[in-house]
Chain A
């Protein structure tokens, strides 16, 4: 199966399922499908990295298999694990029988006792699959080594069973907040996409598509204000997720005019550091 027929097709189909992609995102997503290479998406928090993977799954009708990375993730939770307890049970229950040890030995290392984890699941599936490896920068360096075999050859080697090769290659999306440099070996195998804050027009479209009840005029004011906030030197600039939250807040509070007072009252929705709020109030002269 081809995932998308052209960059424009990728952009249009992502748009249909509610993800407004810019041309660079559409092109790179198309390439990830066409070249069957994993796609590494980096960018600040809340710009829609994870959402991109979900949108690709929705747009192509594929199922999403997700591996959430965290510190201390190991192969037992990423690839596969032998079901030790079941194996122990099997050994203990066969002690009374006449069956030989070699039979039991062969038996307990069969697929029945194998617990598949996300990476192996994604590879062994026959239906179209999008594999999302979320926040890959949170893992230890050893896990990256583990990913290499999966990402370059789409296969997993299990010593007792042999090599499992992908029946159908999944589309892999890796996301990272760049909290540490990923290894060159991993990056070399991936296509790279940096997602950043969108321009004003696109952000307005995104906000309006997520919160259709919002009036166009208020949406414009909101996007302009978010743009002004991003220009300030803040610890954490407001992301798209926060713009959408802001829009929902305005709906809930029934604010139809986003003036300085309204911005001041609802600033807590977009800025999450007290020093950032103080700075915004001062620089934008919200309290006169």
Chain B
């Protein structure tokens, strides 16, 4: 390897480490060994070799792809096709006017409706080059903006027409809408990736690596998630619940050995001439708790509450009984929505529909919700039950009803409060996290990893 390659390799590894992948020195050496054993004529081969040696978790793969594209770009500048493009005029400037924009959108629409991946990749490069250029204040200061390009071409406005085209192919409404949304989303990501590539080319990859990488889905904050992220998170819930259940069963089994079962041990020793080689034990009785979940479903924290509810109900067999209530300023029981084996999407839409029952005036009021809960559902809490409250503790400066919360916490065996906000935002503005936290222990729970850990410890 020449020195330039080694530098780039080291910088790439540093960027991966910076993005949260734990790349050890041994893996670094493996990567070099793998690259030495391979022909370098294809970019994909190099990428696969890096992926096989450095990325050991699939959730980190998108981060890896982003950084690989930045450090080992697939093309430089406009690429070969771009240079020969006839859309440039005599002065070599890229043509950019209303007519060109309209023409480009037609091409894009066609490609999106066909789902032609190769053409879309080409269009993404062209789009940033033509509509995303930001003239700089001087030579060398020019830059590229995916945002500008996306605002001007606005592929999201093409969705309706793509849907129409897909319907003509005989797809159903929902399916067409979903496909169109996904294709536009993928194209948007391609455009963003191309803008990153161009910026990296001009300012150096390290500059981009620090700012352009999103956290992987299990570390993404609930409150910062976009719509597409939320859908992806929802898909993660069942695998997460399954992983947790496996882990719990396993830990449970590890602790299962109870007293020595004398009869079985002696009986088993018969086959080894009366020498007891293996001891046998009686199983222990499992201990299961009842869980009462009380969650704030007002706009700001609704998605967090839904995820937690889904996860808790996916693990329902680990609990003796689960009851769930939602509130904004009024309490509404939602346990009946979670039937065993129910469809995730249906449950989510039912929950969204039932939000209306949890609100009288539509402004979050924790005090009123707690008061209503103790009046109407006091029987839910008993000496065997654990109370779990979900919310950001932002009560619009209303009465806190601390004594009611105290009574609820006293009636239950354990109680916790999960707060989806970062710890540093607690007690800012109308947040009363500190005061509620004195009554019920408050835990920060911002992403799927933290949520999984908490639920695991709870069981």
Which residues on A are within 8 Å of B, measured CB to CB? 6-7, 23-24, 27-28, 30-31, 34-35, 37, 40, 42, 71-72, 84-85, 88, 92, 140, 178-181, 184, 187-194, 228, 231, 233, 235, 273-276, 278-279, 283-285
Question: In the bound complex, do residue B179 and residue A192 qualify as a contact, i.e. CB atoms below 8 Å apart?
Answer: no
Which residue of A has the minimal Cβ distance to B55?
A192
User: Which of chain B's residues 340-354 have a Cβ closer than 8 Å to chain A?
Assistant: 341-346
Known contacts A273-B341, A284-B175; A35 and B275 CB within 8 A of each other: no
Which residues of A are found within 8 Å of B175, using beta-carbon distances? 228, 231, 283-284
> Which 4 A-B pairs give the minimum distances between C-beta atoms?
A187-B56, A27-B48, A275-B343, A34-B37
CB of B48 within 8 A of CB of A191, answer no
The stretch among B66-74, B239-247, B405-413 that forms the contact with chain A is B239-247
Specify which of B39, B52, B234, B247 is in contact with A6 (CB 8 Å cutoff). B39
Measured in the bound complex, the distance between the Cα atoms of B38 and A23 in whole Å is: 13
State whether the Cβ of B24 lies closer than 8 Å to any Cβ in chain A. yes
Q: Is B238 an interface residue (CB 8 A)?
A: yes
The CA of A37 and the CA of B33, in the complex, are separated in Å by 11
Residue B51 at the A interface, CB < 8 A? yes
When the two chains form their complex, are residues B58 and A42 in contact, meaning their CB atoms are under 8 A apart?
yes
Judging by beta carbons under 8 Å apart, are B37 and A178 in contact?
A: no
In angstroms, Cα B314 to Cα A275, docked, is 14
Task: With CB as the reference atom, state the residue of chain A lying closest to B254.
Answer: A140
Residue on B nearest A184 in the bound complex, by CB: B22
Do B345 and A233 touch (CB < 8 A)? Answer: yes
Q: Other than the known A37-B30, A233-B234, A275-B341, what 18 A-B pairs have Cβ atoms closer than 8 Å?
A: A27-B44, A27-B45, A27-B52, A28-B49, A31-B34, A31-B52, A35-B33, A71-B253, A179-B243, A184-B22, A191-B53, A192-B53, A194-B58, A228-B175, A231-B178, A233-B235, A235-B238, A275-B346
Known: A7-B45, A231-B178, A235-B238. A35 touches B30 (CB 8 A): yes
Residues A180 and B243 in contact in the complex (CB < 8 Å), given A42-B58, A191-B53, A192-B51: yes
CA of A7 to CA of B34 in the docked complex: distance in angstroms? 12
The distance from the CB of A89 to the nearest CB of chain B, in whole angstroms, is 9
As a 0/1 sequence over residues 259 to 303 of chain B, the CB contacts with chain A under 8 angstroms (1 = contact) are 000000000000111010100000000000000000000000000
B154: interface (CB < 8 Å):
no
Cα A35 to Cα B250 in complex, Å, equals: 34
Q: Return 16 A-B CB contacts under 8 Å, by A number.
A: A23-B44, A27-B45, A31-B34, A35-B33, A84-B272, A88-B273, A178-B58, A179-B246, A181-B243, A184-B22, A188-B56, A192-B52, A192-B55, A231-B178, A283-B174, A285-B172
| A residues in contact with B34, CB < 8 Å | 31, 34-35, 191
CB-defined contacts of A273 to chain B, threshold 8 Å: 341
Nearest residue (CB) in A for B238 is A235
Question: Does any Cβ of A come within 8 Å of B76's Cβ?
Answer: no
Measured CB to CB, the nearest residue on chain B to A8 is: B39
| Alpha-carbon distance between A72 and B56 when the two chains are bound, in angstroms | 25
Q: How many residues of B contact A (CB 8 A)?
A: 50
Q: State A189–B30 Cα separation when bound (angstroms).
A: 9
Cα separation A133 to B147 with both chains bound (whole Å): 48
Are B343 and A279 closer than 8 Å at their CB atoms?
A: yes
Contact, CB under 8 Å: B24 / A275: no
List the B residue with the shortest CB-CB distance to A92.
Answer: B273
A88 touches B38 (CB 8 A): no
* A28 B24 Cβ-Cβ under 8 A: no
Contacts of B345 in A (CB 8 A): 233, 279
A126 to B277, CA, bound (A): 34
Question: Which residues of the partner chain B approach A235 to less than 8 Å between Cβ atoms?
Answer: 238, 344
* Complex CA–CA separation, A180 to B235 (angstroms): 17
Which residues from A are CB-within-8-Å of B57? 181
**Distance (whole angstroms) from the CB of A228 to the closest CB of chain B:** 7
Q: Given A24-B48, A85-B272, A284-B175, do A31 and B38 touch, yes or no (CB 8 Å)?
A: yes
Number of A-B contacts (CB under 8 A): 110
- B296-322 residues at the A interface, CB under 8 angstroms: none
A189 to B27, CA, bound (A): 8
State in angstroms the CA–CA spacing of A235 and B234 once bound together: 11
Task: Specify which of B27, B45, B273, B277 lies most central, judged by the most chain A CB atoms within 10 Å of its CB.
Answer: B45
Given contacts A233-B235, A283-B172, contact A71 B250 (CB under 8 A): yes
Q: Name, among B33, B44, B48, B272, the residue most crowded by chain A CB atoms within 10 Å (CB to CB).
A: B48
B101-132 Cβ-contact flags toward A at 8 Å (1 or 0): 00000000000000000000000000000000
B98 CB-CB contact with A under 8 Å: no
Q: Is B26 an interface residue (CB 8 A)?
A: yes
Contact A231 B179, beta carbon cutoff 8 Å: yes
B323 at the binding interface (Cβ < 8 Å): no
* A179 CB contacts on chain B under 8 angstroms: 242-243, 246
CA distance A35 to B34 in the complex (A): 7
| Residues on the A chain within 8 Å of B182, using CB | 231
Beta-carbon contact of A274 and B341 below 8 Å: yes
A278 to B343 Cα, complex, angstroms? 9
- The 8 Å CB contact of B342, one of A30, A178, A275, is A275
Nearest-CB residue, chain B, relative to A31? B34
Q: Which of A194, A274, A284 gathers the greatest number of chain B CB atoms within 10 Å?
A: A194
Closest to A278 in B: B343
> Contact between B341 and A27 (Cβ–Cβ < 8 Å)?
no
Task: Tell me the minimal C-beta distance from A233 to chain B in angstroms.
Answer: 5
Q: How far is the CB of A147 from chain B (nearest CB, A)?
A: 15
Residues of A within 8 A of B357 (CB): none
**Contact yes or no, B38 A27, CB < 8 A:** yes
Q: Cβ of A180 and Cβ of B48 under 8 Å apart?
A: no
Bound CA–CA A95/B297 (angstroms): 79
A191 near B52 (CB under 8 angstroms)?
yes
**In the complex, which residues of chain B have a beta carbon less than 8 angstroms from the beta carbon of A37?**
30
- Please provide the chain B residues from 17 to 60 with a CB less than 8 Å away from any CB of chain A in the complex: 22, 24, 26-27, 30, 33-34, 37-39, 44-45, 48-49, 51-53, 55-58
Is B61 part of the contact surface with A, judged by Cβ < 8 Å? yes
A50–B131 Cα gap in the complex (Å)? Answer: 48
Bound-state Cα–Cα, A278 to B272, Å? 56
Bound: A274/B53 CA distance, A: 40
Q: A72–B256 Cα gap in the complex (Å)?
A: 12
Residues of chain B with a CB closer than 8 A to A30's CB = 37-38
B45 in contact with A188 (CB, 8 Å): no
In contact, A180 and B45 (Cβ under 8 angstroms):
no
CB nearest neighbor in B for A189: B26
The smallest C-beta distance from B361 to any residue of chain A, in angstroms, reads 34
Shortest CB distance A260–B (Å): 10
